[in-house]
Amino acid sequence: MSVCQQRDVKGLYAKASQDNSFALTGMAAPYEAPLEADLCIDTSQLSLETAVAQILSFQRR
């Protein structure tokens, strides 16, 4: 959650923390992680270019 808040350029997480009627996944609405994701991209460890390359490679399959 803290990573989402740090990357939130639109201020949506700040708004959700002040306005309970503003449903934001992970705050008012629960986040349900997939049991078996088709693709996992760890953006805390990968560069933008590497992440994009992995996504494009996955799409080409």
3-15 pLDDT, tens digit per residue, is 888 888 998 888 8
The total number of structural domains that make up the chain: 1
Within 10 angstroms of residue 16's Cβ, the number of other Cβ atoms is: 20
Name the residue with tokens 């201020």: 11
- Domain hosting residue 45, numbered range: 2-60
pLDDT of residue 41: 95
The total of other beta-carbon atoms located within 10 Å of residue 13's CB is 19
What average pLDDT score do residues 30-57 get? 93
Task: Please tell me the pTM assigned to this model.
Answer: 0.59
